Amino acid sequence: MLRLVTVLLTLIIASTGLASTIKAKELIESKVENLLSKMTLEEKIGQLVQYSGTELTGPQGQSINAASLVKKGKIGSFLNITGVENTEAIQKIAVEQSRLKIPLLFGLDVIHGYKTIFPVPLATASSWDPQMLEKIEQISADEATASGVTWAFSPMVNVARDPRWGRVVEGYGEDTYLTTQMALAVVRGLQGDSLANKNTILACIKHYVAYALVQAGREYWTVTVSERDLWTIYMPAYKAAVDAGVGSIMPAFTSVNAVPMTANKKLVHDILKEEWGFNGIAVSDWNAVLELIPHGVAKDAYQCAELAMDAGVDIDMVSGAYDYQLPKLIKDNKITMKQLDDAVTRVLRKKFELGLFKNPYLYNDLSREKETILSNSNLKESRKAAQRSMVLLKNNNNLLPLSKRIKRIAVIGPLADDKNNPLGPWSAKGVHNSAISVLQGIKDSVSAGTQVLYAKGCNINDHNKKMFEAAVNTAYKSDIVIAVVGESADMSGEAASRADIDLPGVQKDLLKALYNTGVPVVAVLMNGRPLTINWTKNYIPAILETWFLGSEAGNAIADVIFGDYNPSGKLPITFPYCVGQIPIYYNYKQSGRPETLANAPLKYESKYIDIPNTPLFPFGYGLSYTTFDYSNITLTKDKIKPNENLTVKIEVTNTGKVKGIETVQLYIHDRVASVTHPVKVLKGFKKIFLKPGNSKIVTFKIKPSDLELYNQEMKKVVEPGIFDVYIGTNSVDVKSASFEVVE
Ligand code: BGC
């Protein structure tokens, strides 16, 4: 019997192609082992050393003689060296002049595009469209690899609930499920089916873990997180990406519960590597190994390198601590040969998987570089992605879309004629001033008879109103004002925390002045985080959130303004009413004294006495030029066992006049559990396209894993009791049904 099972299993494995994958993996492992056995101590350490090329993306690192170090096998990878010619020149030294001819890796922050720039991650998160994201990440990988880059430090999967932190722009918002879906899409897009293909690139999930919880939203500050939140909210995206085969991970700069992540043996070595079986590379963040000194956990570079290596950080990005200290640490027996070999094995494994030993010049093809980068089809995809990433926040009396035959349009504001800020804060090799501005996009869209007027109004951070008069006069001459306001790209991203997240400078006053002309105003927002735009929400009749949309920003914005694209984005993050509400998020817990919202509210409730509890715009929110009606929510069963599935259905109808895309959102609420539980948690979403008058039945399968929680013993369980199912157009406007889990 046993033999029969074995034979059958062998047959199944062989027929599915699994056998060849297993064989290829085994082959790589034996090649790595063989190479490792030939390496000197110096050469091994070299594989763990990473230095930066010409550009610096952090504080000044070590100054080095790259060619001579590469020749000696003392560098294993670089970041910030790009372009076929540059990467080839140094790769040539590695594979033709070093003793063991080990090829180099070239890393870069390919966050939302290489040279064709796509919308920033917070914007693509607003699309709720993982397929689209996967597609544009494929393009990013194609462009970057065509330019010699083999390693993208992306995606950032830090679930973020504090918009003061500038890096919210780099992630996929406040929700674990949405972030996880987007993270998986990026990993699939970048790494493809096989790293050995010339257009796939090593991905890197970062910054492990809970970085977004920096206290008070202040960059690089300390992080405190409960065990429950860590496992429920912050770890799942990393775990999912590891299970999906992501090739590398970057521990965060920050400390978590008093242990800097670069020295966090429990989270990096024990959990990530041992428990989860991650076999890729853990690369430190920029200079983070040496920063263990100011963190106050190491007294010198020697101890920094010891702590980081012992924690399981394989590569030291730019600090030089491994380069200088590891030889002595090995000699002193502070780091064992086994630890060193494990780290080197991880680096070599990825180099083999990328096909670099077979052909170190695989990514150095000049004609491919010319053809691939900034191609028309890539720009077309960027425009499509930008269209899908905008969120229509307000549209009183269907002010939008505008007719292309309108007589006079005033395009006003500090970002209206801007070709650089739309590229966003992490625009890799995006060419300065290369984005299509909103002004240009509008000019190119309107009919020949339309006059497009422009006035700047103010600069982004101005504190004077010198240019207001000209702007107001321009508005008076027009039938409509498009006011393009917001942040500059460098006001979000790394090292860009803000305590006041309103429109910067005098931009709110500019909006007021334009509003006072009586000419209808459409606010087009460009920003890298939710803003506290309370006045704007109350007075400006139409508001379009565009984030930073990349190369084709102006064209895509014009597509929405004139109705060539019906906006379909939904907020991946809550907009607070004011900074005092932060952190504010949709999946909050009730407390023992929830707000009753009664006519005569009670004093002793969980609320503020001066501001509402509710946000300006909730998670999942976004309007369309049409309307969608939700009806007939039904469950296939009203009672299930803890290990059973059930299905929920809802009918969605386009009740408006134009075709549109809707994102149908599924939330679940555990009514009574052994631990306090959020009011609702996102567990699924589906995008549907509907013509006017048409309906679709949308179906979700609810699985036991959707009902699980960590109980008081931190065990994942499904607890019996009643669960509410909510389905709707955002996290607030939902239809509900309920079912019971019975033992
Ligand atoms: C950032 C990382 C980035 C690295 C390399 C650091 O400052 O925190 O996200 O990958 O620089 O540029």
Domain 628-741 is in which class? mainly beta
Burial of 436 from C-beta contacts in 10 A (0-12 / 13-18 / 19+): buried
Q: Is 117 helix (H, G, I), strand (E, B) or coil?
A: strand
Q: Which phi and psi angles does 158 have, rounded to 5°?
A: -80, 110
Q: Is the CB of 109 within 6 Å of ligand 1?
A: yes
In order of 38, 40, 196, 566, the CA distances from 100 in angstroms are 8, 10, 21, 57
User: Does 153 sit in the ligand 1 pocket, CB within 6 Å?
Assistant: yes
Q: What is the CATH number of domain 386-581?
A: 3.40.50.1700
**Domain definitions of the chain by residue range:** 1-35, 386-581, 628-741
Q: Which atom of ligand 1 is nearest to the CA of 206?
A: 9
CB 112 within 8 A of CB 550: yes
DSSP label at 296? Answer: T
* Nearest-CA residue for atom 6 of ligand 1: 286
Atom of ligand 1 nearest to the CA of 58: 7
Longest dimension (CA), the chain: 89
Residues 6+ apart with CB under 8 A from 449: 405, 407
Q: What is the pLDDT of residue 2?
A: 52
Site to probe by mutation for ligand 1, drawn from 165, 286, 319 as the one with most ligand atoms within 8 Å of Cβ, is 286
Angle between helices 376-389 and 553-561 (to 10 degrees): 50
Q: Does ligand 1 have an atom closer than 6 angstroms to the CB of 143? A: no
Cα of 684 to ligand 1 centre, how many Å?
31
Q: What average pLDDT values come out for the chain (743 residues) when binned by 10 residues?
A: 56 66 91 98 98 72 81 96 96 97 98 98 98 98 98 98 98 98 98 97 98 98 98 98 98 98 98 98 98 98 98 97 97 98 98 97 95 97 98 98 98 98 96 98 98 98 98 98 98 98 98 98 98 98 98 98 98 98 97 85 90 97 98 97 98 98 98 97 98 98 98 98 98 98 96
Residue 106 amino acid letter: F
Query: Helices 438-445 and 553-561 sit at what angle, rounded to 10 degrees?
Result: 50
Q: Is the CB of 57 under 6 A from ligand 1?
A: yes
| Rg, C-alpha atoms of the chain | 27
CA of 241 to the centre of ligand 1 (A): 19
Grouping H, G, I as helix, E, B as strand and the rest as coil, residue 305 is: helix
User: Is the Cβ atom of 494 under 6 angstroms away from ligand 1?
Assistant: yes
Q: Which residues belong to the active site? A: 285
- String of DSSP letters for 704-742: HHHH-EE-TTS-EE--SEEEEEEEESSSSSEEEEEEEE-
Closest C-alpha residue for ligand 1 atom 11: 286
pLDDT, residue 171, reads: 98
**185, burial (CB in 10 Å: exposed 0-12, middle 13-18, buried 19+):** buried
CB 682 within 8 A of CB 634: no
Q: Is the CB of 286 under 6 A from ligand 1?
A: yes
In 665-699, which positions are buried (b, 16+ CB within 10 angstroms) versus exposed (e)?
A: bbbbbbeebeeebbebbbbbbbbbebeeeebbebe
- Ligand 1, atom nearest to 204 Cα: 10
CB neighbours of 191 closer than 8 A, spacing ≥ 6?
141, 200, 201, 202, 203, 245, 246, 247
- Give me ligand 1 centre to Cα 164, in Å: 19
> Measured in angstroms, how far is the CA atom of residue 287 from the centroid of ligand 1?
9
For residue 285 and ligand 1, the question of a CB distance below 6 A is answered with yes
Question: For residues 555-577, b (16+ Cβ closer than 10 Å) or e, as one string?
Answer: bbbbbbbbeebbbbbbbbbbbbb
Q: Say how many Å lie between the CA of residue 634 and the centre of ligand 1.
A: 47
Q: Could you tell me which residues come within 8 angstroms of residue 68 by beta carbon, excluding any fewer than 6 positions away?
A: none
For atom 12 of ligand 1, the residue with the nearest CA is 57
Distance CA 464, CA 458 (A): 8
